[in-house]
Structure 1
Amino acid sequence: MQSNDLMLELLKMAVSLSTLALSSHVAIKNAIRVSESTGVSRSSIGFTLIAVSTSLPELAVAISSAISGTAAVSVGNVLGSNVANVFLIAGLGLFFASFTSKVEIYKFKPEELDFLYFGIFIASAVPLILVSLLPASRFVGGLLVALYAYYTFKIVFRKGIENPTTELQVKFVKHSRVAPFVVFTLLGVAGVVLSSHFLVESTVNVALSLSVPESLISATVVAVGTSLPELALDLQAFLKGEPGLAFGDMIGSNFTNTTLILGATLLLSPININIKAFYDLATFSILANIVLWYLMSRGKFGRMEGIYLLSSYILFLASIMGLLAFG
């Protein structure tokens, strides 16, 4: 790569990084406003609006890979993303937020814990069942997609606005105040997804121009890049002192990955997928969800918890690389 091309890629990287930061700020700021305007909890907004939006590119990749006969790639991405969402994203979020916020205790409301724990349970149970009991068939894929549709609908219309005063005010809030906030939230998420794509692309090009091995690029830049939208949004939420929004997005993303994306992959794949080949990834995915459940049950989120999670992610990477090298 010539020096002019390298400078262009570096400029592209800088612009993408700036756009990523700005877009994540816009998305989280307006998601908070949606929550405040409707009375719907932060975790509900994260579980549905944010998580679904950031998962749309992965859904497109899953559908494409399933139709083209490379569905195994999508399955590995789903399980790997579930691990990264907990160990890497929550770890970084808690670690950096500890420098800007002294608040380490966060109590979820009982109604929040109900659907968040269910999301964790599904994200843990589905991989366990598929690697030990049920074959990964189109029928199972259909069930997972149906479960996603049913439960998301149930959360969205669970209680509607939690703190309404009058029916007239509720209608006013729904139609005149919420719509712009939802639109700006979605625009912010779209900016995050697009800038993440261009950031990863430019980073890979720069790394290749500097003769960095492709295997190292795949294991670092590309692997982290798939979770970059969630990382940017949840880190912004943690820094703003909104762990409910961040955990809602993380659990919602894992739930969406395990039901909608995995289900669509199984449903559209022309052949049955051997999920047992992903036993190690599934084990780490289940372990990550158990750790997440433990953290939420304690309600204490600080720097040490962040360090523990990041250490777990390093252990995960070392284990996977060891299996690839010697397995």
Structure 2
Amino acid sequence: MIAENLLIFLLGLVLLVKGSDYFVKSASTIAEKLGVSEFIIGLTLVALGTSIPELASSIAASLQHASGIVIGNVVGSNIANIGLVVGLSAVISPVKTEIEMLRRDGYVMLFAAVLFFVFILNREISILESAFFILIFIAYVFFLFEESEKYKGKLHFKEFIIYFFKFEYISSARQKFNCIRDSNAEGENCQSREGFTKDILVLVLSCGAIIIGAKYFVNKSIFFAELLGVPETIIGTTLVAFGTSLPELVVTLSAAKQGFGSIALGNIIGSNIANIFLIIGFSGLIYPIPVEQISLFFTTPAMILISVTLLVFISTDWEIKRWEGIALVAFYASFLIVLLRMG
């Protein structure tokens, strides 16, 4: 019985990881055909693609009212993304950084973590707060794709906040929808949609694999949590978070080995932003998410602390050095030791 459940658990994880791999490849191909830069691909499509396991497993957990897995998955994945993934990447090869990673995307990532902490102070993520998260994420994506010329390279956190509260993303969204609706639309912001059939088909099939994998992965995670008598939040923060962070680990280590540090780091920062705004947002729209004490007093503050640490490392000579990578890995290992002792 245990062997059978373990096999299904591993098969679900394989579907999640491989489905995400094909999703990333097809999404990147589509973005390249649209003329989008590699750094923006890393921040958006690749980040979103590698966050799909977290999204699928969190929605599956939310439908089963397993709120501990939802919160633990997101917070644990964000900590693993920085401590394990960025840390190991820097150990393999020092990661070059850019000022935009700090002043725009890094601050947005930290803003997401702090806003999440503020929202859980009342021990629940409400449906309204979840909708607000999704709205911020949509605005962030449009800001990255639409506003580079308008702000002439000054795509910083301050400009994003102004963009968000002025609701400028509404006109950006309307323009994109007009391009999609009218296949003959012309203009500098409307791109040709030819040659996407195969990529879109792979995108759809990979999403199907991810959804199926998430269902079984979460079901068996809950099974083992109950079998071992371990709280769902601990399982979500460790086992589920590590499993769903595997795509980020594979993609980022591959990018680091090939010298594409900006894609590697952009992927992680974008994934952490998507994990909070998009995944918590969608999960909380299904049911309000109750928050356990361990998330409020330990795991979320740890996520904020390691996020601040990453931003400091980014700004030191605009490179994440090997010793800084070792420090991040050590932080993650210490976090796991303390967490498991608390459990």
**Same fold per superposition (TM over 0.5):** yes
CA distance, structure 2, for counterparts of residue 171 and residue 28 of structure 1: 24
What is the aligned partner in structure 2 of residue 54 from structure 1?
50
What is the aligned partner in structure 2 of residue 63 from structure 1?
59
1:143 aligns to 2:161 (yes or no): no
How does 1:1-327 map onto structure 2 within 5 Å?
A: 40-96=36-92, 98=93, 104=94, 106-110=96-100, 113-132=102-121, 135-159=124-148, 175=193, 179=196, 223-269=241-287, 273-274=290-291, 276-278=293-295, 279-298=297-316, 299-324=318-343
| Unaligned residue ranges in structure 1 (runs of 5+) | 99-103
CA distance, structure 2, for counterparts of residue 237 and residue 66 of structure 1: 33
AA aligned opposite 2:134: V
Note if contact 2:44-2:270 (Cα within 8 Å) is conserved in structure 1: yes
TM-aligned CA deviation for residue 136 of structure 1: 2.2
CA distance, structure 2, for counterparts of residue 105 and residue 250 of structure 1: 12
Query: Could you say if the C-alpha distance between residues 266 and 34 of structure 1 is closer, same or farther in structure 2, counting changes exceeding 3 Å?
Result: closer
Post-superposition CA distance 1:153-196 (Å, at most 9, x none): 22222338x99xxxx9979985568x5997699599879969x9
Query: Could you say if the C-alpha distance between residues 184 and 245 of structure 1 is closer, same or farther in structure 2, counting changes exceeding 3 Å?
Result: farther
Note if contact 1:142-1:267 (Cα within 8 Å) is conserved in structure 2: yes
Post-superposition CA distance 1:39-88 (Å, at most 9, x none): 64433211110111222232222223223222231111111111000000
CA distance, structure 2, for counterparts of residue 89 and residue 43 of structure 1: 18
Query: Could you say if the C-alpha distance between residues 227 and 312 of structure 1 is closer, same or farther in structure 2, counting changes exceeding 3 Å?
Result: same
Q: TM-score, normalised by structure 2?
A: 0.67
Number of equivalenced pairs? 295
Note if contact 1:93-1:238 (Cα within 8 Å) is conserved in structure 2: yes
Query: Could you say if the C-alpha distance between residues 105 and 286 of structure 1 is closer, same or farther in structure 2, counting changes exceeding 3 Å?
Result: closer
Query: Could you say if the C-alpha distance between residues 186 and 70 of structure 1 is closer, same or farther in structure 2, counting changes exceeding 3 Å?
Result: same
Post-superposition CA distance 1:238-289 (Å, at most 9, x none): 111111111111111111111111122222115x513544121101111121
Note if contact 1:120-1:293 (Cα within 8 Å) is conserved in structure 2: no
TM-aligned CA deviation for residue 303 of structure 1: 2.0
CA distance, structure 1, for counterparts of residue 198 and residue 319 of structure 2: 30
CA distance, structure 2, for counterparts of residue 63 and residue 27 of structure 1: 18
CA distance, structure 1, for counterparts of residue 198 and residue 87 of structure 2: 29
Query: Could you say if the C-alpha distance between residues 266 and 32 of structure 1 is closer, same or farther in structure 2, counting changes exceeding 3 Å?
Result: closer
What value does the CA root-mean-square deviation take over the aligned residues?
Answer: 4.6
Note if contact 1:28-1:185 (Cα within 8 Å) is conserved in structure 2: no
Please give the secondary structure, in 2, of the residue aligned with 1:159. Answer: coil
Query: Could you say if the C-alpha distance between residues 116 and 223 of structure 1 is closer, same or farther in structure 2, counting changes exceeding 3 Å?
Result: closer
| Unaligned residue ranges in structure 2 (runs of 5+) | 154-185
AA aligned opposite 1:137: S
Query: Could you say if the C-alpha distance between residues 292 and 192 of structure 1 is closer, same or farther in structure 2, counting changes exceeding 3 Å?
Result: farther
> What is the aligned-residue identity percentage?
27
